Chains A and B, each alone.
Chain A
Amino acid sequence: MKYCFVLFLLIITVVSPLLGQDIPMPGESTTPKNSSNPEIGGYVENTLSLYGAGERSEESVINETRARIGAEAKLNNRIDVGITLIGSLYTGETVVDASLYVPESKRAAIALPELYSYEYEDELYLQEAYTTYYGDSIYVRAGRQKFYTGTGYAYNPSDFFNTKNPVDPEYESEGIDGIRADVELPLYLNLTLLGRPGETIDESDGLIYLKGRASMGDWGLLYVRYNKSMIDFRSLNGVDYAEVLSSGDSSLLDPDNYVRKSHWNYFGGDFDIQPEGFHIYGEGGYVICQANGSEGELKILNKDHERFLLGLDYTFDFQLYLIVEYLRYGLGADSYGDLDYADYLSYNSGERVALSKNTLFTGGSYPLTDLSEFGCYLISSIDENSYTVNPKLDYNIADNGVLQCAAYCTLGRSEIADAYGWGGDVRVRGSF
Chain B
Amino acid sequence: MKNICYVLVALSVLLMVQGIMALDAKDILNKSDEKESYDYMYAETEQIIATSSGSKRTLVIRNWATENGREQLSEYLEPADIRGQKILMTDDGDNIWMFNAETKRTRKLGSHMKKKKVMGSDFTYEDQAGGKMSEKYTPKLLKEEALDGAPCYLLELVPTANGPSYAKVLAWIGKEDFLIRRVDFYNEGDSSAFKKMVLSDFRQAGSRMTPFKIVMTGIKDRSETVTLIKSVVYDQKIPQSVFDPRELEK
A371 within 8 A of B: yes
| Complex interface: chain A residues within 8 A of B53 (CB) | 369
| Complex interface: chain A residues within 8 A of B55 (CB) | 371, 396
B120 A27 Cβ-Cβ under 8 A: no
Stretch of B5-13, B105-113, B140-148, B201-209 that contacts chain A: B105-113
Using CB atoms, name the residue of chain A closest to B236.
Answer: A23
A290 within 8 A of B: no
A92 within 8 A of B: no
A315 B110 Cβ-Cβ under 8 A: yes
A26 B64 Cβ-Cβ under 8 A: yes
| Complex interface: chain B residues within 8 A of A21 (CB) | 236
Contact pattern, A 18-45, Cβ under 8 Å of B = 1, otherwise 0: 0001111111001000000000010100
B51 A369 Cβ-Cβ under 8 A: yes
B2 within 8 A of A: no
A319 B115 Cβ-Cβ under 8 A: yes
Report the Cα distance A173→B104, complex, angstroms: 10
- Nearest Cβ on chain B to A22's Cβ, whole angstroms: 7
Number of interface residues of B (CB under 8 A): 56
B110 A279 Cβ-Cβ under 8 A: yes
A182 within 8 A of B: yes
B165 A396 Cβ-Cβ under 8 A: no
Using CB atoms, name the residue of chain A closest to B103.
Answer: A172
B108 A218 Cβ-Cβ under 8 A: yes
Report the Cα distance A22→B236, complex, angstroms: 9
A26 B73 Cβ-Cβ under 8 A: yes
Stretch of B20-28, B31-39, B242-250 that contacts chain A: B242-250
Report the Cα distance A170→B107, complex, angstroms: 11
Contact partner, B58, options A170, A317, A321, A399, Cβ 8 Å: A399
- Nearest Cβ on chain A to B136's Cβ, whole angstroms: 15
Report the Cα distance A145→B117, complex, angstroms: 31
| Complex interface: chain B residues within 8 A of A315 (CB) | 110, 112-113, 115-116
B115 A431 Cβ-Cβ under 8 A: no
B77 within 8 A of A: yes
| Complex interface: chain A residues within 8 A of B100 (CB) | 170
| Complex interface: chain B residues within 8 A of A400 (CB) | 79-81
Report the Cα distance A23→B121, complex, angstroms: 26
Contact pattern, B 85-117, Cβ under 8 Å of A = 1, otherwise 0: 010000000100000101111011111110111
Contact pattern, A 347-377, Cβ under 8 Å of B = 1, otherwise 0: 0000000000000000000010111000000
- Nearest Cβ on chain A to B91's Cβ, whole angstroms: 10
A26 B247 Cβ-Cβ under 8 A: yes
B177 within 8 A of A: no
A5 within 8 A of B: no
A27 B250 Cβ-Cβ under 8 A: yes
Report the Cα distance A371→B121, complex, angstroms: 9
| Complex interface: chain A residues within 8 A of B244 (CB) | 188
Of listed A151, A153, A400, residue having the most chain B CB within 10 A: A400
A396 B120 Cβ-Cβ under 8 A: yes
Using known A-B contacts A26-B86, A315-B113, A319-B115, determine if residue A369 contacts B108 with beta carbons closer than 8 Å: no
Using known A-B contacts A151-B108, A314-B112, determine if residue A370 contacts B83 with beta carbons closer than 8 Å: no
| Complex interface: chain B residues within 8 A of A23 (CB) | 42, 64, 233, 236, 238
A316 B79 Cβ-Cβ under 8 A: no
CB within 8 Å of A: which of B13-63?
42, 49, 51-53, 55, 57-58, 62
Report the Cα distance A211→B242, complex, angstroms: 18
Using CB atoms, name the residue of chain A closest to B233.
Answer: A23
A286 within 8 A of B: no
B52 A369 Cβ-Cβ under 8 A: yes
Report the Cα distance A274→B94, complex, angstroms: 9
| Complex interface: chain A residues within 8 A of B86 (CB) | 26
Using known A-B contacts A313-B110, A315-B113, A431-B81, determine if residue A26 contacts B104 with beta carbons closer than 8 Å: no
A432 within 8 A of B: yes
A248 within 8 A of B: no
| Complex interface: chain B residues within 8 A of A146 (CB) | 103-105
| Complex interface: chain B residues within 8 A of A41 (CB) | 80, 83-84
B122 within 8 A of A: yes
Using known A-B contacts A172-B102, A370-B49, A370-B122, determine if residue A314 contacts B110 with beta carbons closer than 8 Å: yes
B192 within 8 A of A: no
A51 within 8 A of B: no
Using CB atoms, name the residue of chain B closest to A70.
Answer: B102
Report the Cα distance A23→B232, complex, angstroms: 10
| Complex interface: chain A residues within 8 A of B246 (CB) | 182, 184, 188, 190, 211
- Nearest Cβ on chain A to B230's Cβ, whole angstroms: 12
| Complex interface: chain B residues within 8 A of A272 (CB) | 108
Using CB atoms, name the residue of chain B closest to A80.
Answer: B250
B→A interface (CB under 8 Å): 42, 49, 51-53, 55, 57-58, 62, 64, 73, 75, 77-81, 83-84, 86, 94, 100, 102-105, 107-113, 115-117, 120-122, 165, 187-188, 218, 221, 223, 225, 233, 236, 238-239, 242, 244, 246-248, 250
A→B interface (CB under 8 Å): 21-27, 30, 41, 43, 132, 134, 139, 145-146, 148, 151, 153, 170-173, 182, 184, 188, 190, 211, 218, 272, 274, 277-279, 281, 313-317, 319, 321, 367, 369-371, 396, 399-402, 429, 431-432
For this complex, 24 residue pairs linking A to B, each with C-beta atoms less than 8 Å apart, are A22-B236, A23-B42, A23-B233, A24-B62, A26-B75, A26-B242, A27-B75, A41-B80, A43-B80, A190-B246, A218-B108, A274-B94, A278-B112, A315-B113, A317-B115, A319-B117, A321-B113, A321-B116, A367-B120, A369-B52, A371-B120, A396-B120, A431-B79, A431-B80
What are the 10 A-B residue pairs with the smallest beta carbon separation, nearest first?
Answer: A279-B110, A431-B80, A431-B81, A399-B79, A146-B104, A23-B42, A370-B120, A315-B112, A370-B51, A400-B80
